Amino acid sequence: MSQITLMLPDDLSTEIEPYRDRLDELLRLGLRELRKAESLVLLRSGAISIGKAARLAGVPLREMIHYALAHGVHPPIDEEMIHEELA
């Protein structure tokens, strides 16, 4: 296991204090959300498909579709994607 030392603003340090014994979980959740947000930027710009966005984010296609829709992005969904999702 690796050890990391971070310099945090006081307000953030105070905010995460109740989660001190669960920082690994907090980081995993934060990284997951960050990957989804970064993938959404690429999806919104048209640089990648919803399937590629899901793969980059490391989440199931269905989750990425819901995430995109919740953020006002309506990805084109074709018949092939529907078959992949149902398989």
Tell me whether residue 4 is in a domain.
no
Residue 32: closest CA among 5, 65, 67, 75? 67
- The answer for 59, left when phi > 0, alpha when psi is -120 to 50, beta otherwise, is beta
Tell me whether residue 15 is in a domain.
no
Say yes or no to pLDDT of 2 above 80: yes
pLDDT digits (tens, 9 = 90+) for 5-39: 989 999 999 999 999 999 999 999 999 999 999 99
3-state secondary structure 12-64: HHHHHHHHHHHHHHHHHHHHHHHHHHHHHHHHHHCCCCHHHHHHHHCCCHHHH
Tell me whether residue 69 is in a domain.
yes
Q: What is the pLDDT of residue 76?
A: 78
Tell me whether residue 39 is in a domain.
yes
Say yes or no to pLDDT of 87 above 70: no
Tell me whether residue 80 is in a domain.
yes
Domain that holds residue 78: 23-86
- For the chain, the domain total comes to 1
